[in-house]
Structure 1
Amino acid sequence: MSDIMDEISRLSLKDAKPNMTISPRNPDHNPLHLIKNMKLKHGRPAFIAGPMVRYSKLPFRELVRNFNCDIVYTPMILAREFVRNDVARLSDFTTNDKDRSVIVQVGASNVEDLLKFVDMIYPYVDGIGLNCGCPIKEQMREGIGAALMSEPELVSSMVKAVKEKYGDSIVIETKIRIHNDLNETINFVKMVEKNGVDFITVHGRTKNTRSSIPANYDAIKLVKETVNVPVVANGDCFSLKDAFEIAEYTGVDGVMAVRGILANPAIFAGFDKTPWSAVEIFWDLATSYGLPFRITQHHLSQMMEKIIPRKYLKEMNETNNMIDMIDWFDSNFNLKRAGDENFATAIEPTWKQSREEMAHI
């Protein structure tokens, strides 16, 4: 993994080319190929784990691929910082040969930064996702994320520039939210489709809609009926049942989960809550790849919220470092490591006997 990142840091901004030692991307991992194939050959939508600030890093991306997830996004990376700062490159993006199919999400506000970003990163990913939906005010002030929803010409010019340079050798997606006036949304998607976007992801909320308000699937259905490129639905997917119902209602080609898959990385495998096997796999990946403590803790807290009593969750969240948290797990559970017999096979938490009785009081 470090060799790949060192190579990214050495790439020239003027004429970035993949090092000859980097293996070409397997066309089977092309997101467009996967999205189309899942529907045609398997009769189901593509299952996609969406981008999450801080939380869709390499260990989590590898985790969800164990549970029927077809495509996984990185967190959003700011193009301007990435192309100018090698520290940002090393901290924002890590990958390896197992990290496929992966789409890197980018925040960009102009053609120049986006092209430089794509030049540097395209050998290491299967697709580029242009973020046009992030509602965070700081990002919008920078002219990225949901700020781009009012700039269809700019977004179209960025999509066009990437496709003119790379053609079918690279997949580019736009992830959008809907407008208050859906006519604006329709005009937006028609324009980006005309300029070469490969597929469109639609979050069925406006930039001001709270997550407590149900996603607008009628708006997503309207987008699907308007364009010819594949459409992915995003919003309120918390189970495999949700994924199929969303796809059936809207007619989309793929369904993206974000909050749902953060809480249960195995939703696309049909689990209604996180299986203990996912906890053990995540521990192995987080420690192997060196995921920061607070991020690791947050993942485990989300994953275990529905599978252990709240008082134990509180204990785990009160640990202050990785060693203490590992000790807490070993005190409460028979947490298996990779290489142990029956590693990552349990569905229910493997309580230590003394704690199991207390946990069910």
Structure 2
Amino acid sequence: MQEIDQVTRKRTNIVQLLQKDGPTKICAPMVRYSKLQFRTLVRKYGCDIAYTPMIVSDSFVQSEECRKVEFITNENDKPLIVQFAANNPDDFASATEMVFPYCDGVGLNCGCPQRWAMAKGYGAKLLRNPEQLVDYIRFTRSRLQDPDFSISTKIRLHADPHKTVEMCRRLENVGVSFISVHGRTTKERHQPVHYDQIKLIKDAVSVPVVANGDVKSLTDVYKVYEETGNLYPVTLRAVCII
């Protein structure tokens, strides 16, 4: 983990940031691109929150070389969320403990539909077992109880919208800080994003919900913000730029 030994971080409460008036602009994790230099650039153009690329948690925990390559940050790299892929709760919790002093939160990737990820039990494969997914959040929250540190997850939609809502309610009950929703099912790639289903989730839970998918401009940000129900805010939601 290069450069981070010198970091003195005053933590940003991500949930409070997501609850501010108006949409929050988030730069979603992108493989190979979302490194420190890229995050530094997007922050200059009004990005409110940035993610690291997805990091495989077991490699991160076991390999110092992996940590040196995959996680580089500095004192200006904030607010920052580290996204992990994991196929068991212990790896996710252990990786989270390692980055805890140097970021503002972690995210569990449950949205990646790529074959290699699914084959290893990562990404969207976790959506097939909601009970296990809930355990990831519960277990990690039990080991890191700082209320200002966010533990979130990114999901895709079930074919049955009610199953998605029920899963999100269970995640909320075990302490998830917020939920990012890519508005497609695992089988969908370029089909239109189901913003109506993201709104359904938003109306069913009290934690912030981040809308993800096909947001390519600032105009899209405000369009999605309106389509996902900003006119009826209990907790104001956020829009994710990809």
What is the TM-score normalised by the length of structure 1? 0.63
Residue 233 (structure 2) aligns with: none
Any idea what SS the aligned residue of 1:131 has?
strand
Q: Output the CA distance in 2 between the equivalents of 1:190 and 1:231.
A: 12
Aligned to 2:105: 127
Residue 163 (structure 1) aligned with residue 147 (structure 2)? no
| SS state at 2:180 partner | strand
1:253 aligns with 2:240: no
Residue 3 (structure 1) shift: 4.3
1:33-69 C-alpha deviation (Å, 9 max, x unpaired):
21112x2xxxx11110001111111111110101111
After superposition, the Cα gap between the structure-2 partners of 1:120 and 1:228, relative to the gap in structure 1 and judged at 3 Å, is same
Aligned AA for 2:238?
Answer: G
Q: How many residues of Structure 1 are paired with residues of Structure 2 in the alignment? A: 235
| Structure ranking higher in helix proportion | 1
Alignment deviations for residues 71-118 of structure 1 (CA, whole Å, 9 cap, x no partner):
001100000000001111111111111110110000011121112101
**Residue 26 (structure 1) aligns with:** 10
Backbone CA RMSD of aligned residues: 1.4
Asked if residue 54 in structure 1 is aligned to residue 28 in structure 2, the reply is no
Query: Any conservation in 2 of the 1:202–1:220 contact (CA below 8 Å)?
Result: yes
Contact 1:105–1:130, Cα closer than 8 Å, also in 2: yes
Which structure has more RCO (C-alpha within 8 Å, separation ≥ 6)? 2
> Structure 1: how far apart are the matches of 2:237 and 2:10?
21
- CA deviations 1:140-176 (Å, max 9, x no partner) are 1111100011121111111011222222142111100
Q: Check whether the contact 2:3–2:74 (CA below 8 A) recurs between aligned residues.
A: no
Equivalent residue, structure 2, for 1:91: 69
Letter in 1 for 2:241: A
Residue 159 (structure 2) pairs with residue 180 (structure 1): yes
Distance 1:174 1:3 in 2: 26
Greater than 3 Å deviation, 4+ residue runs: none
Question: Which is further off, 196-205 or 113-122?
Answer: 113-122
Q: Distance in 2 between matches of 1:30 and 1:101?
A: 9
Amino-acid identity (%): 43
Answer whether contact 2:3 2:73 (CA < 8 A) is retained.
Answer: no
Structure 2 distance, partners of 1:169, 1:154, is 25
Which consecutive residues of structure 2, in runs of 5 or more, have no partner in the other structure?
230-235
1:226 Cα deviation (Å)? 0.7
Task: Measure the CA separation in 1 of the matches of 2:49 and 2:7.
Answer: 21
Secondary structure (helix, strand or coil) at the match of 2:211 reads strand
Q: CA deviation at 1:26?
A: 2.1
Q: Deviations over 1:167-203 (max 9, x none)?
A: 2142111100001111211111011111110100000
| Bigger Rg over Cα | 1
2:84 counterpart SS class: strand
TM-score of the superposition, structure 2-length normalised?
0.93
Question: Which residues of structure 1 form unaligned runs of 5+?
Answer: 8-20, 259-361
Counterpart contact for 1:163–1:170, Cα < 8 Å: no
1:234 corresponds to 2:212: yes
The amino acid across from 2:74 in the alignment is N
Equivalent position to 2:187, from 192, 208, 211: 208
Residues 132-147 of structure 1 mapped to structure 2, 5 A cutoff: 132-147=110-125
- Richer in strand (by share): 2
